[in-house]
Amino acid sequence: MELLVVIAIIVILASLVLGGLSVMQRNQAVSKCKAQIGMLSTALDEYKMDFGRYPVADDTGATSDSGANVLFKALYWDSDNDGSGVGSDTDQRSYLPELDPTSNKQGWRSTTTASANNTIFDPWGANYRYRSGVDAGGAVNTNCKNPDFDLWSLGPDGKLGNTDGTDKEAQDNISNWK
């Protein structure tokens, strides 16, 4: 009987520890995502200072992953859009060198080789979402929550939900407009 009580106490303590660890890991991932969105926003502001506009996403739909590729191309891969990649004589600069997929110093997740098709992943392995405030023709994007750009992650559950803030699935999304 005493042995069963000791085993029960050990099981209860183990479940408390494991439950606390998962909450800590989730909070750490949320903090990391917020920091990365801040870094990406700063890099996008620097991009605008050089080019006079933010990068334009081909598809501005909320369900599209194309924005993550636009971010990678604009901020790391080919800042002058000539197709030559970073390191060529015509490249102006890499706005966020931490995006280098061959290095994991900053914990950014991407594919392991640098190419123009890379995307930027959030801490949960999904693409960051990006939507520009204006399209390629200069028309205002009415879907954009900010006048400049929207940048967000689908959060721990990976579900988009309704981005107007009323949907439970979207409440864990992390964005630059909350």
Residue 128, CB half-sphere, CA atoms under 13 Å: how many? 35
pLDDT in tens, 122-133: 888 888 888 888
**CB environment 53-68: b (16+ within 10 A), e (fewer):** ebbbbeebebebebbb
pLDDT in tens, 102-158: 666 555 655 555 555 677 888 888 888 888 888 777 788 877 888 888 888 888 877
Tell me which range, 35-39, 77-81, 125-129, 155-159, is most confidently predicted by mean pLDDT: 35-39
Note the pLDDT of residue 5: 94
pLDDT over 70 (residue 163) = no
pTM tops 0.85: no
Nearest to 132 by CA among 79, 53, 75, 77: 53
Q: What is the SS3 string spanning the chain? A: CHHHHHHHHHHHHHHHHHHHHHHHHHHHHHHHHHHHHHHHHHHHHHHHHHHCCCCCCCCCCCCCCHHHHHHHHHHHHCCCCCCCCCCCCCCCCCCCHHHCCCCCCCCCECCCCCCCCCCCECCCCCECEEEECECCCCCECCCCCCCCEEEEECCCCCCCCCCCCCCHHHCCCEECCC
